[in-house]
Structure 1
Amino acid sequence: MHCHRFQPTPFSRRDLLRRCALGFGGVALQALLREESIAAANADPPSEPLAPRTPHFPPKARNVIFLYMDGGPSQVDTFDYKPLLEKYHGRDPREVIGDLAPTQFDNVGKVLKSQWSFQRRGQSGAWVSDLFPHLADPEVIDEIAFIKSMTSKFSEHTSANYFLHTGSGLQGRPSMGAWLGYGLGTMNRNLPGFVVLNGGLIPPGGLDCFGSGFLPAAYQGSVFLPREQPIANIHPNEVNPELQRNKLRLISRLDQSVLAASGGDPQIEGMIGNYE
C-alpha cells in the first residue's frame, strides 16, 4: 500500500530524539519530584500510613520473606540435634523428666529418637540431619542463620502460633508483618506493604496471625488465595475502559459512604486501602 498523502517530517531524526528524550525526562521528573515532596514531608507524621520511614539503623535487607511450614518436619529431625532422645529412646517420658503437666498430648507413648543421623557441617558447625544432603555443602550451610533461642510454654497450637507470629500467646497483638509496615512503611505505593501467600491452610489461630492488632488496619496482611485469581474482583470484566473507570468511581463512593456510616471504622478503612 502506498500513501500519496505522505508529508515529510518538519524536523530531523536528531531533533526527534532530542524532543522525545526531553518529554520522557519530564515524565520521570514529575515522579521524582513527587517522591522528594513525600520524603520532605516525612519529617512530620506521614499522611499515608505506609509511607516510607527512615529506620534507626542502616538497613541490611529490602524485604522480609517468612515461610511458615505448617505440618512440616520436626525440628528434632532437621536442624535441632537432641542426643538425649537417642539415650532415652523407648522409655516412658515420666521416667526421664518426672511428672508431666496435664495436656492433650501427655499420653503419646514412649520417647522416640530421630530416624535420621546428624553431623556438624561447614565452618559454623551447624547440626544438619541426613534429610538435607544438599544443605550440607559448606558454601550453603554457612550462609544460613539458625535461631534456637525461641522457646514457649504453650502446649496448644493456637496460642503457640500467636506467639510465633506476634510475640504474644494472647489473641489480638500485631503480627510481625504489621510491625514492619508500621515502623518502616513500604517503597511500593501500588501494592500492600504486607501480603500473605495462603497455600491453602491458614495456621491455627486464623487471620489473627496476620492481623494488625491495636495498630491501624492498614498494616494488616493482605491474603492472596491459591487460585488463578488470588484476589477476588481484582480483574476488570468490562471491555470498555471508560465503563471500568465509572465502575471504580461508583465503588469508591459506595466505600466512602459505608466508611462514613461506620463512623470511620479503621478495619473498613484498612480493607479499602489495601484493595485500592
Structure 2
Amino acid sequence: MMLTNSLSRRHALKSLGCGFGFLSAAALANQQAQANPEALAKLQAGGGPLNPLAPQLPHFAARAKRVIFVFMQGGPSHVDTFDYKPLLEKKDGESHVFDDARVLAKTKKITKHRVFRSPWKFKQHGECGQSVSELFPEIAKHVDDLCFLKGMHTDGVAHGPSTLFLHTGSINLIRPSVGSWVLYGLGSENENLPGFVTIQPSMGNGGPRNYSNAFLPAHLQGTAVGRAGVSAEQAKIRNLQNHILAADDQRQQFEQLRQLNRLQLAGQPGADELDAVIQSYELAWRMQQNAPDTLDISQEPEHVQKMYGIGEKGTDDFGRQCLMARRMAEAGVRYIQVNYGDNTNNPRWDQHSNIERHQTHAFNTDKPVAGLLADLKQRGLLEDTLVWWGGEFGRTPYAQANGTGRDHNPYGFTIFLAGGGVKAGFSHGQTDPFGHHAIQGKVHMHDWHATLLHLLGMDHERLTYMHNGRPFRLTDVHGEVVHEILA
C-alpha cells in the first residue's frame, strides 16, 4: 500500500525552521502559566490571548493608580530636613552613649558620641504646622499636601543592603523589585509604553537588581531611561530608534514578522501564553512610535519647565527627570522611579563628613520635587498618583567620629508621601528626642511596602508568585498595612 505524504513544502519549512524554537518557547509559556494560576485557568478554559501587560483588576477598590518614587540615594538626614529635634541644639557638643549596632560591630565596645545640632534652622509651615528646615523652602510650601512617616526603620546598615531592601524587600536573595510586583499585579495603563520605568538609575548598591524582575516573567522588568552620571538631557531608552531602515521599511518588516508569528501560533497548544510573549516584543515596536514623544520635554510650555527649575543652574538635570516622570504618569506608566544618585561608592546624600554638603543636594532637588507636586495637583493627577520621597535610611544625631558629618541610621528616619489616598498635612510616628530610634508609630520597610500595595488596591498577602515550589511575595512573611495614614 502506498502512503500519501500530506506534508506541504510550506508546512515542512515552517515546522523544521521553527519547531525547536517553538518547543522551548512553549515550555517557557507553560512554566509561566503554572506560576500564574489565573493565566493557567484562562488557558485551560480556552480563553483568548493573554496580553502580559494588559490592565488587571485590583483585589479591592484602589486609592491610587500609579506611583512616582523619588529616590534620594545615600540617606538624607532626617534631623536636618523634616524631623526637628530641639534637644540637639540644647545638647550640642555633649557626649552621650547611643545604642548603635553598626558602631558596636566596628569597635566591639560601647562608645560615646558628640551630639551634633543641625546647621539649618527649622520653621513651621502650612496650616498643619509641619516643621521643615531651610534646606527645602519650595517643598515647605506644599506641606499641607504631604504625609510624613517619621517612624520609619529598615534592615541593613550599609548602602548596598539597605538599598536592595528598599527596592526588593530582601537583602541577600535575588528578589523582584517593587515596580515589578506592581506591574505583575495591575498590568499597565498604556499598551504603547513600558509599565515600569526607572529614570537614570545608579549602577552601584544593587544596580540593575533594584529594578529587576528576578524570577517574575521578563516583561515585568523595569525599563531604564539613561543612567546615573549621564546628563538627563541625554537620557534615552536604549536601542529605541532604528537608524538603518526608513520608517516605512521598518513598518513593512514589522508587519511581515507579525504575520510569520501568527502563522506559527495558529493551532499550536499553549498559543495564548506564547502570544503574550510575542506581544511583549510588539510592545518594543509600539514604543518606537510613542516613547520618543513622551520623553521629549521640549513640548512643554516654558512656564511649566520653569516650575521644575529647568534651564537653571543646579536644578536643570533633576528638573528634567521630574518633568519626564510627570509626562510618563500622564501617559499611563504604572510605576516610575526618579533617581537622584551617582555611580560612586559614596552616594550623593552620604555625608560622613561635612554634613553641610546636604545644602547642594537639597538645592538641586527642592524646586524640581516641588514643581512635580504642583504640576500633578494642577492637572488633577495627584488624586490618583502616589508620590513617595525618601532614601534607604536616615543619619545619626551625633557627629561621626566626633567630626562634621553623620553616620548611617536605619533605626529611625523620615519619608514623605503625597496624593494617592494618603492623609494630607499629616505626620505619623516619631523618633526619640535625639532622632536616633523610631519609638512611636513605627513603620518598617515591609510595612511600607504592604501599605503601598494596599493603596494600589492589592492585598500584599494575596499578591504571590509560585517559584521553586514556594509562593513568594514582596513582603515575604512580614508587613502590616499602616491604616493610620489612609485618607
Q: Distance in 2 between matches of 1:192 and 1:154?
A: 31
RMSD: 3.8
Runs of 4+ residues over 6 Å off in structure 1: 106-109, 249-253, 268-271
For structure 1, the residue ranges without an aligned partner over 5 or more in a row are 1-40, 254-267
- The one-letter code sitting in structure 2 at the alignment partner of 1:60 is R
- The one-letter code sitting in structure 2 at the alignment partner of 1:243 is D
Worse overlay, 68-77 or 179-188:
68-77
Aligned pairs (5 A) from 1:115-130: 115-130=119-134
Aligned partners of 2:98 and 2:112 also within 8 Å: no
More strand, by proportion: 2
For structure 2, the residue ranges without an aligned partner over 5 or more in a row are 1-38, 44-48, 227-231, 260-276, 286-487
Instruction: Give the C-alpha shift of residue 240 in structure 1.
Output: 3.5
Give the corresponding residue for 2:213: 212
Give the corresponding residue for 1:159: 161
Give the corresponding residue for 1:148: 150
Aligned partners of 2:164 and 2:210 also within 8 Å: yes
Give the corresponding residue for 1:64: 67
Q: Distance in 2 between matches of 1:211 and 1:189?
A: 20
Aligned pairs (5 A) from 1:245-260: 245=251
**Secondary structure at 2:148 match in 1:** coil
Instruction: Give the C-alpha shift of residue 203 in structure 1.
Output: 4.8
Worse overlay, 121-130 or 203-212:
121-130
Instruction: Give the C-alpha shift of residue 186 in structure 1.
Output: 0.8
Alignment deviations for residues 76-131 of structure 1 (CA, whole Å, 9 cap, x no partner): 211122344334433445x3448842249x99973322111223333333221122
Q: Distance in 1 between matches of 2:283 and 2:132?
A: 41
**Secondary structure at 2:180 match in 1:** helix
Q: Distance in 1 between matches of 2:258 and 2:252?
A: 10
Aligned partners of 1:178 and 1:210 also within 8 Å: yes
Identity %: 38
Q: Distance in 1 between matches of 2:284 and 2:236?
A: 12
Aligned partners of 1:120 and 1:128 also within 8 Å: yes
Q: Distance in 2 between matches of 1:132 and 1:153?
A: 27
Instruction: Give the C-alpha shift of residue 156 in structure 1.
Output: 0.8
> Equivalent of 1:114, from 118, 130, 135?
118
Q: Is the alpha carbon distance of 1:202 and 1:74 closer, same or farther for their aligned partners in structure 2, counting shifts above 3 Å? A: farther
Q: Distance in 1 between matches of 2:153 and 2:278?
A: 36
Give the corresponding residue for 2:372: none
Give the corresponding residue for 2:58: 55
TM-score where L is the length of structure 1: 0.64
TM-score where L is the length of structure 2: 0.39
Aligned partners of 1:85 and 1:111 also within 8 Å: yes
Give the corresponding residue for 1:82: 85
Give the corresponding residue for 1:198: 200
> Equivalent of 1:236, from 231, 242, 249?
242
Instruction: Give the C-alpha shift of residue 171 in structure 1.
Output: 3.6
The structure, 1 or 2, with the larger RCO (C-alpha pairs under 8 Å, 6+ apart) is 2
Alignment deviations for residues 11-53 of structure 1 (CA, whole Å, 9 cap, x no partner): xxxxxxxxxxxxxxxxxxxxxxxxxxxxxx9x94772221101
**Secondary structure at 1:132 match in 2:** coil
Aligned partners of 1:152 and 1:160 also within 8 Å: yes
Instruction: Give the C-alpha shift of residue 229 in structure 1.
Output: 6.3
Q: Is the alpha carbon distance of 1:249 and 1:89 closer, same or farther for their aligned partners in structure 2, counting shifts above 3 Å? A: farther
Q: Distance in 1 between matches of 2:91 and 2:129?
A: 25
Alignment deviations for residues 203-236 of structure 1 (CA, whole Å, 9 cap, x no partner): 5111111111222121110101145461232112
**Secondary structure at 2:115 match in 1:** coil
Give the corresponding residue for 2:137: 133
Give the corresponding residue for 2:222: 221
